[in-house]
Amino acid sequence: MNIGVLGAGQLGRMLALAGYPLANRFTFLDTTGHPSAGIGDVMVDTDRRHLAAFLEKVDLVTYEFEHLPVSLVQEIEEVKPVYPSSEAIRVCQNRAEEKALFDRLSIPTPAYRLVESADELEAAARELGTPVVAKSVTEGYDGKGQAVLRDPAEAAEAWRAIAHPRLIVESFVDFVREVSIIAVRGRDGEVVFYPMAENQHVDGILRYSIAPLPDLADSLQQTADGYIRALLDELDYVGVLTLELFQCADGSLLANEMAPRVHNSGHWTQDGAVTSQFENHLRAIQGLPLGDTAARMPTCMVNVIGREGDSSAILALEDAHLHRYDKSERAGRKLAHVNLLAPTHEALLERVRACAALLPEAPAPSFSFE
Ligand code: AMP
């Protein structure tokens, strides 16, 4: 099976690494001109001239990046199976579509408004009550294209800074923690769920994910499972889907956003779960049985961003697994991650702190259950 992947970054690289034991081959189509997968057959196609050659080579198509023209994915669907479908991409690349789907499926979200001018932004901030978060409806990721307004009077400045014709404005959630749920749906409709992870972001970028959580009520995991199952079934989805949520003080979960792909908050599954998110995505899209999603042990994923740190010292930590992306160092760039495992959460937190001390740019780890 030759799997075509749209996008050629580290997620594609890790999909390929998980697919080689299944005798999969990989052909990447990079439309950015900056592929970094460093594995498989990478076709750089910045002007859509190599699509036919790409499709010729592959048996089915998936993606590791959702900010693709929907028309391109629809064109591919005419020729080869695409999992997940172009409909999943269409919804997930637009925050307004995403929120409308959450509303339709009764998945709670922060209160929000859609605005198309600085005046509308100011009115929405007044109506919702500050603070609010304004986000561009499309093209935003890792906290880019966003601004927090502490006062409606900041609307003009935020509008200029984001510089986008359509924004979504949300109430700022006073969350206890940020969590994510990752689930996989097979071609036959079978669904499996990973234990939820707690995610620590700094400046909108994920820094740490820890799973399973020592203090998560079963009922809350079931609530999240229900939300993501509704999304998977509604979209007739095949593959891995990620839903990011805020957990509030009253125990409720509010959906923030979803990603139609393997996700950074699921990297812990490479070493910490019986079957990784990458292998399960490949199983799903090929119509193979899905693998066990149970956690082997408390696990924490530490992102390595900007600078690599001392790899030898990291590898000397007990039960530490370094996954490097073979990229050059640059401020804010995701270069690698470390998965740390330990028999207890207490021991795990010690290892996480030891690991963070070896990474020059790592913020102090802090988890809600400490
Ligand atoms: P997003 O790109 O929507 O995932 O936003 C990036 C990060 O900004 C999130 O992971 C949160 O840390 C923060 N954030 C986004 N929306 C809100 C919100 N409505 N309330 C509080 N924090 C938010």
Separation of CA 348 and ligand 1 centre (Å): 26
Residues 180, 185, 188: CA angle, nearest 5 degrees: 170
Give the mean pLDDT of 88-109: 97
Beta-bridge mates of residue 243: 181, 258
Q: Is 39 exposed, middle or buried (0-12, 13-18, 19+ CB in 10 A)?
A: middle
Residues with CB under 6 A from ligand 1: 110, 133, 135, 140, 143, 170, 172-173, 178, 201, 204, 244, 256-257
Which comes out higher in pLDDT, residue 155 or 67? Answer: 155
CATH number of the domain located at residue range(s) 175-356 in this protein: 3.30.470.20
pLDDT at 203 over 90: no
- Residue ID of nearest Cα to ligand 1 atom 13: 204
Give the mean pLDDT of 324-352: 97
Q: Select from 171, 256, 257 the residue to mutate for testing ligand 1; criterion: most ligand atoms less than 8 Å from CB.
A: 256
Contacts of 301 (CB under 8 A, 6+ apart): 208, 209, 210, 264, 265, 267, 268, 337, 338, 339, 340
Give the mean pLDDT of 196-201: 98
- Residue ID of nearest Cα to ligand 1 atom 5: 143
Q: Which atom of ligand 1 is nearest to the CA of 199?
A: 10
Separation of CA 78 and ligand 1 centre (Å): 36
Let me know: does 81 contact 239? Beta carbons within 8 Å: no
pLDDT of residue 164: 94
Which of 67-71, 144-148, 233-237 has the highest mean predicted lDDT (pLDDT)? 233-237
Place 67 in a pLDDT band, splitting at 50, 70 and 90.
confident
Give the mean pLDDT of 59-87: 95
- Residue ID of nearest Cα to ligand 1 atom 10: 204
Give the mean pLDDT of 85-104: 96
SS3 of residue 63 by DSSP: strand
pLDDT of residue 204: 86
Separation of CA 121 and ligand 1 centre (Å): 18
pLDDT at 141 over 80: no
pTM of the full structure: 0.97
Give the mean pLDDT of 10-15: 98
pLDDT at 218 over 80: yes
> Which residues of the chain are in CATH 3.30.1490.20 domains?
111-171
Let me know: does 268 contact 197? Beta carbons within 8 Å: yes
- Residue ID of nearest Cα to ligand 1 atom 19: 172
pLDDT at 87 over 70: yes
Q: Which atom of ligand 1 is nearest to the CA of 144?
A: 2
Separation of CA 341 and ligand 1 centre (Å): 28
pLDDT at 142 over 80: no
Strands 2-6 and 25-30: parallel
Q: Select from 98, 132, 133, 368 the residue to mutate for testing ligand 1; criterion: most ligand atoms less than 8 Å from CB.
A: 133
pLDDT at 143 over 90: no
- Residue ID of nearest Cα to ligand 1 atom 11: 204
Instruction: Give the number of other Cβ atoms within 10 Å of residue 240's Cβ.
Output: 28
Q: Which atom of ligand 1 is nearest to the CA of 172?
A: 20
Separation of CA 204 and ligand 1 centre (Å): 7
How far, CA to CA in Å, does 69 sit from each of 58, 72, 73, 76, 164? 20, 5, 7, 11, 18
pLDDT at 139 over 90: no
Contacts of 212 (CB under 8 A, 6+ apart): 195, 196, 295, 298
Distance (Å, whole) CA 302 – CA 67: 25
Q: Which atom of ligand 1 is nearest to the CA of 173?
A: 20
Is the CATH code 3.30.300.10 the one for domain 111-171?
Answer: no
Separation of CA 148 and ligand 1 centre (Å): 10
Q: What is the pLDDT of residues 73-85, one digit of tens each?
A: 999 999 999 999 9
pLDDT at 180 over 90: yes
Separation of CA 18 and ligand 1 centre (Å): 30
> Which residues of the chain are in CATH 3.40.50.20 domains?
2-82
Q: What is the pLDDT of residues 304-325, one digit of tens each?
A: 999 999 999 999 999 999 999 9
pLDDT, averaged across the chain:
96
How far, CA to CA in Å, does 363 sit from each of 12, 143, 188, 200, 370? 27, 17, 43, 10, 16
Q: What is the pLDDT of residues 16-55, one digit of tens each?
A: 999 999 999 999 999 999 999 999 999 999 988 999 999 9
Give the mean pLDDT of 119-147: 91
SS3 of residue 42 by DSSP: strand
Separation of CA 289 and ligand 1 centre (Å): 35
Distance (Å, whole) CA 179 – CA 246: 6
Class level of CATH domain 2-82: alpha beta
pLDDT at 247 over 70: yes
Q: Which atom of ligand 1 is nearest to the CA of 256?
A: 3
